[in-house]
Amino acid sequence: MRSLKPNQLIKRLNLWIVIKLSPDGIKTAFDHWFNPIGTYIFKGLDRENGILDLSMFTNLTSVDCNAFRWIDHLYKLVLPPTLSTYDTCFYTSTIDNIIIEVIEKQNSLLWGLTFKNLIIKSVNPPITERRASYGWYARKESRIFVPDESVENYRKSDSFSDIAEYIHPMSEYQP
């Protein structure tokens, strides 16, 4: 591997600084390289009142299976507005509040996820490979909030029709 100056690393791997300086014990996938949102990157993260705000990473467009897997507990996760494809990325995590700005495509979005509020700001429901509830153990306290004008579209969509009772208008959301 060719040696890079620190400022070159920062320019190429914006998230590296955040992870390397994080007191949360987040580890890189390899000693010298890592996938910015890679498999199990936040495994074991346990911050009952913690907020993980990724909204500044505007070059991120999709996350793969397991990107946010095994988060023990997190109060809030804010995802960037450029992230629009979600593939089974929250498996076995407990995240009280998740804010998704845009979702165009999803595959088993809720699989193994424990949450209180999932806020989806996209006006249109996502294209689905597998329904959002696939593998999800529905909990009575869970709520999915969508734009008021889109509630019926989400309730009838291929992604969410089987869990329509969990879909609520954004105007009912109480942080």
Domain ranges of the chain: 38-172
Provide the pLDDT for residue 38: 54
pLDDT at res. 40: 66
Per-residue pLDDT at 100: 97
User: Which pLDDT does position 7 carry in this prediction?
Assistant: 41
- Which parts of the chain have pLDDT scores under 50? 1-36
Q: Model's pTM, two decimal places?
A: 0.76
Q: What is the pLDDT of residues 51-75, one digit of tens each?
A: 999 999 888 888 777 788 889 999 9
pLDDT value of residue 106: 92
Residues near 55 by beta carbon (within 8 Å), at least 6 away in sequence:
78, 79, 80, 81, 101
Question: What is the predicted pLDDT for the residue at 18?
Answer: 40
Residue 4: predicted pLDDT: 44
